[in-house]
Chain A
Amino acid sequence: MDNSKRVTLFFVDNLIWVILVGIYTLFVVLNPGFQNLNFFYRLVYFSIPLGFIVLAEAICLLAGVFDLSVGQLTGLVAMTSGVLIVKTSLFQGVPDFLLVLIPLIMGLGLGAFNGFLVGKLKLNPFLATLGTYLVFYGAKLQATGASTVFGFPDVYLIFGAEAIPTILMFFLVFGVLYFLLTKTRFGYHVYSVGSNPEASEMLGVRKSKIYFLVYLISGTLCGFAALAYTGFVGAASPTVASDTVFMAFAGAILAGVSINGGRGSIVNVIGGILLISTIEGGLTMLDVSVYYRQVLFGALVIVAIIINQAREKLKDRILLPR
């Protein structure tokens, strides 16, 4: 492949970063407050709770499934952990720093439930997770009395309340996810099942096992999100992460993860997360009304789909041999 093709391919594969830099620069021009490096640092920090949810959705998409329940799962974990830690004496004797494991284990468990429905019972992923969306939503309000929980120990809140531990936690988790997806057999199988589940099955890769594990990971990532949201706000609120599923899809699609499965880079998903935060932050600073912002985000998702389709066509043209 000649050099001009290589360079074009590089840009096509990493378009999200080009767009991110472009949009960020646009906001810098429109609003000098953006120029501050500290502002960027805080932007990264603010994007982490949603970032976990975007990662959760991205890994599902890579495997060729969906998880519509990500937001509600996060909310249920946050609220239930809150009630169990603060309002019951269940974890009275447990050292505070171990309490952070509770939302993670709960997220793993709820993810396993999704995984059971799609992996073992072979239900349609869209319908199954639509169902669990509703179940988790109801359970969240019913089981926890739907009122905000305060009074968490400081150690529990640190992941979310303080920028550095939060950012470190995110990149550590991301690092593990990156390793899993790009260096292990499991990761290779996620991509192959996402791209062609029948072919994979014919060659001995059990798609039901992959789906189950992917939902497990998705649930656990939502557990991290629950921890981050709680720390961020200093409390567990019943509305936390409620509408995030749409942004989760948007972030992953913007980053080039294919809706059909089997294609996309987890590194680029970081770009998608930052892009959402940049736009959110930029529009806030420009005092754009909330409703207008919704319109803009919707338009953005549509534009993202168009750009990605064009991008994939261009990539095909470049890669076609001879």
Chain B
Amino acid sequence: MTGLAKDPLLKMEKINKWFESIQAVNDVDFEVYPGETVLLVGDNGAGKSTLIKMLSGYHQPTSGEIYFEGQKVIITSVECARKLGIETVYQERAIVGSSSVAKNVFLGREPTRAFGPIKIVDSKLMKEKSFSAVNEGLGLNISSMDQEARFCSGGEQQGIAIARALLFKYKLVILDEPTNALSVSGVRQVQEFIKELGKKGIASIIITHSLSCIYPICDRIVALSRGSKILDKAKSEISLQELENTLLD
């Protein structure tokens, strides 16, 4: 599942990011291989979110290059990131509470069918596909895709956010604090989701403070501190205890 023998899917080379006089990211090299699950850790202010936002189109690096599938890329917007095959699942999960589950899954990418010269939303297809992604693909049990998303539990909402990644065939999914404020069963569900992404050959970057939740399911760990990379090891090369100790220093 790590595919280290192949070329990296994503290569961030000598990335620097300055916000006026503050350096948020300092000369970072970061790679992700196809199908790999990378755990990205570090304290608050370490630069993890900033690094990731350069992949989702929110920021541009002050200097450095990004390569995706071997090609140099400049990611200027969410649409741009999507076209490349990168999807970000945010901490806040980007859920519209008063919209239905189906509408949330397909937000921004609603499927359409032609009605003469006009395109209308194919709501039936939306419901079918979201049902199968959320219930069959992710093992949730949401009975109606018309249910408003605000009535879903935290784990279910995370599932909706991740279902987007499953449905739209991304190559790289970034999850920012996916287990935040979830119950034990919610955390378990998220772990299963991430494993599911790996099974489908989708690479993922997981940012989290909950090392014990994600360490068991990752392939490699990268740690940042004050904008610089301080660790980049395969899971087999470092135990959870050792990882925690490194971060405590």
Q: A residues near B, CB below 8 A?
A: 183-185, 187-189, 191-192, 195-196, 198-205, 262-263, 319-321
| Nearest CB of A to B106, in Å | 8
| Bound: A320/B147 CA distance, A | 9
Q: Out of B78, B79, B93, B121, which one reaches A188, CB within 8 Å?
A: B121
B103 at the interface (CB under 8 A from A): yes
Stretch of B23-31, B94-102, B199-207, B225-233 on the interface side: B94-102
Residues on the A chain within 8 Å of B120, using CB: 183-184
Which A residues touch B103, using CB under 8 A?
Answer: 188, 192
C-alpha spacing A187/B110, complex, angstroms: 11
Pairwise interchain contact A200-B110, C-beta atoms closer than 8 A: no
Contact A199 B151 (CB under 8 A): no
Determine whether the beta carbon of A202 is less than 8 Å from that of B99.
Answer: no
Q: Determine whether the beta carbon of B148 is less than 8 Å from that of A202.
A: no
Q: Which of A189, A196, A202, A320 is the one whose CB lies under 8 Å from B97?
A: A196
Q: A199 to B112, Cβ gap below 8 A? A: no
B116 within 8 A of A: no
User: How many whole Å from A312's CB to the nearest CB in chain B?
Assistant: 10
Q: Of residues 141 to 172 in B, which have CB atoms within 8 Å of A's CB atoms?
A: 143, 147-148, 151, 164
B18 within 8 A of A: no
The answer to whether A321 touches B121, judged by C-beta atoms less than 8 angstroms apart, is: no
Closest to A201 in B: B78
CB pair A203 B108 closer than 8 Å = yes
Q: Which 9 A-B pairs have the closest CB atoms?
A: A203-B108, A204-B108, A199-B94, A202-B94, A196-B96, A183-B120, A204-B78, A195-B98, A203-B107
Inter-chain CA distance A196–B97, complex, in Å, is 8
The CA-CA distance from A315 to B77 in the complex, in Å, is 38
User: Could you list 11 examples of A-B contacts with CB < 8 Å?
Assistant: A184-B120, A184-B121, A188-B110, A192-B96, A192-B103, A192-B107, A199-B107, A205-B107, A319-B148, A319-B151, A320-B151
Contact A200 B121 (CB under 8 A): no
B209 in the interface, Cβ–Cβ < 8 Å? no
In the complex the two chains form, what is the Cα distance from A185 to B108 in whole Å?
A: 8
Within 8 A of A (CB), among B73-93: 77-79, 82, 88, 90, 92-93
Quick one: closest B residue to A262, CB to CB? B98
A195 to B99, CA, bound (A): 8
Most chain B CB within 10 A, of A191, A196, A320, is at A196
Residues of A contacting B79 in the complex (Cβ-Cβ under 8 angstroms): 204
- The listed residue (A183, A188, A191, A203) touching B94 by CB distance below 8 A is A203
Which residues of chain A are near B151, meaning CB under 8 Å? 319-321
B6 contacts partner chain A, Cβ-Cβ < 8 Å:
no
Contact A195 B147 (CB under 8 A): no
Are A204 and B82 interface neighbours, CB within 8 A?
Answer: yes
Contact A199 to B96, CB < 8 A, known contacts A183-B121, A184-B120, A185-B121 = yes
- The distance in angstroms between the C-alpha atoms of A195 and B93, with both chains bound, is 15
Query: Is B124 part of the contact surface with A, judged by Cβ < 8 Å?
Result: no
Cα–Cα distance between A2 and B95 once the two chains are bound (Å): 28
In contact, B121 and A263 (Cβ under 8 angstroms): no
Contacts of A321 in B (CB 8 A): 143, 147, 151
How many Å from the CB of A190 to the closest CB on chain B? 11
A320 to B110, CA, bound (A): 26
Taking CB atoms, residues of chain B closer than 8 Å to A203 are 78, 94, 107-108, 164
Pick the contact of A195: B77, B82, B92, B97 (CB < 8 A).
B97
**Complex: A204 Cα to B110 Cα, angstroms:** 12
The answer to whether B98 touches A205 (Cβ under 8 A) is no
B96 touches A200 (CB 8 A): yes
Give the complex CA separation of A319 and B120 in angstroms: 27
Kindly provide the distance from the CB of B150 to the nearest chain A CB, expressed in whole angstroms.
9
Give the distance to chain A from B175, nearest Cβ to Cβ, in Å. 14
Closest residue to A258 on the B side, CB-wise?
B98
* In the complex, chain A residues whose CB is within 8 Å of the CB of B97: 195-196
Minimal Cβ-Cβ distance residue in B for A189: B108
In the assembled complex, how far is the CB of residue A259 from the closest CB belonging to chain B, in whole angstroms? 13
Complex-state Cα separation, A228 to B93, whole angstroms: 46
Q: How far is the CB of A262 from chain B (nearest CB, A)?
A: 5
B50 to chain A, nearest CB (A): 16
Instruction: Provide the residues of chain A in CB contact with B108, threshold 8 Å.
Output: 189, 200, 203-205
**CB closest chain-A residue, reference B164:** A203
The residue that B119 contacts in the complex, of A184, A189, A204, A319, with Cβ under 8 A, is: A184
Contacts of A263 in B (CB 8 A): 98
Which of A191, A198, A204, A320 is within 8 Å of B99, CB to CB? A191
CB neighbours of B98 from chain A (8 A): 191, 195, 262-263
Q: B179 CB to closest chain A CB, in angstroms?
A: 19
Chain A residues near B92: list those with CB within 8 A.
198-199, 202
Residues in A with CB closer than 8 Å to B94 are 198-199, 202-203
Bound together, the chains give a CA A189 to CA B108 distance in angstroms of: 7
The answer to whether B121 touches A199, judged by C-beta atoms less than 8 angstroms apart, is no
Closest Cβ of chain B to A177, distance in Å, is: 14
Q: In the assembled complex, how far is the CB of residue A179 from the closest CB belonging to chain B, in whole angstroms?
A: 8
Tell me the minimal C-beta distance from B83 to chain A in angstroms. 10
